[in-house]
Amino acid sequence: MAITAITSVQEFDEKVLGSKGLTIVDFWAGWCEPCIVMRPEVDAVAEKLKGEVQFFTVDAEDKNLRGILLKEDIDGIPSLVFFRDGKMLDSLVGYKKADILEELIREAIK
């Protein structure tokens, strides 16, 4: 699988904030219909760009991960947040189709 689920704040700090290159984090929740509909789109793009971009997910419902949402100022889901070398670069809020996601990510890779 090309996407790794973050399970702790420490893991987020190490794998996302401590990363080199482009990293994308998908903030989602099980009750969020657009999140569920968008999941296959994100999976497809992550698989296509494997090796170029690191992809992670953060479950907004997980009480142990809420500190990440507060720290990164996530106020809507689904949110795809782009990090470069551990620093927030950009974010996309709301449903996006795979072709749009891929285009925006390829722009961020440049």
> Which residues are designated catalytic?
32, 35
The SS3 assignment for 78 reads: coil
- C-alpha 14/C-alpha 77 separation (Å) is 23
* Cβ pair 67, 27 in contact under 8 A: no
